[in-house]
A = this chain, B = another copy of it.
Amino acid sequence: MKKPIHTIETCNQSIGAVRDALYVLNGKWKLPLIVALAGGPKRFKEIQRELKDITPRVLSKELRDLEQNEFVTRKVFDTVPVSVTYELTEYSSCLDEIIESLRVFGMSHRERIIGGLHKDPELVLQSEEV
C-alpha cells in the first residue's frame, strides 16, 4: 500500500502538516504574489499593477512576510531615484506544486460556476469579471 492515509495517526499528522503549511501561506495575497514574481524579478510598482487591487501598505507587509520566510529576496539598486526589485528564492520552488494545484482547481472551479453546474446560483468568484 502506498498511502495509508486512513489510519488515525497518519490523518492527524496530515492535519498538522496542512495547518503548518497554511500558517505560512495564509492570507489573500501571498500565493498570488509569488505567482506574480514567477516570471522574474519585479519592482514594487510593477507588482502592484499586476495584482490590480492591492494597496502599497498591504503589499509592503506581504513582501516582508515572504522575505522573512525566505521565499523572496529584496534587492536595492543605487540609482536615482532608487529602484528595488523583488525576486523569488530557490527555496520558493518548493511551493510550485501547491500553486500549480491551486491554479488547476481555480480554473475548473470557475468553469463549474460559470457553467451553472453549482446548485447555488448565488455563488461568486473572487475575480468578478468573467
Given the known inter-chain contacts A32-B18, A119-B70, please indicate yes or no for A12 contacting B50, CB distance below 8 A.
yes
Q: Decide: A35 and B22 in contact? CB cutoff 8 A.
A: no
Chain A 105-122 interface mask (CB, 8 Å, partner B; 1/0): 111111000000011100
* Chain copies in the assembled complex: 2
Is residue A79 within 8 Å, beta carbon to beta carbon, of the partner chain?
A: no
With A11-B39, A51-B15, A120-B68 already in contact, the answer to whether A109 and B6 are too (CB < 8 A) is no
CB distance A18 to B123 under 8 Å?
no
Q: Does A31 contact B (CB under 8 A)?
A: yes
Residue of B11, B36, B123 touching A69 (CB-CB under 8 A): B123
Tell me, in angstroms, the Cα distance from A88 to B37 when the chains sit together: 35
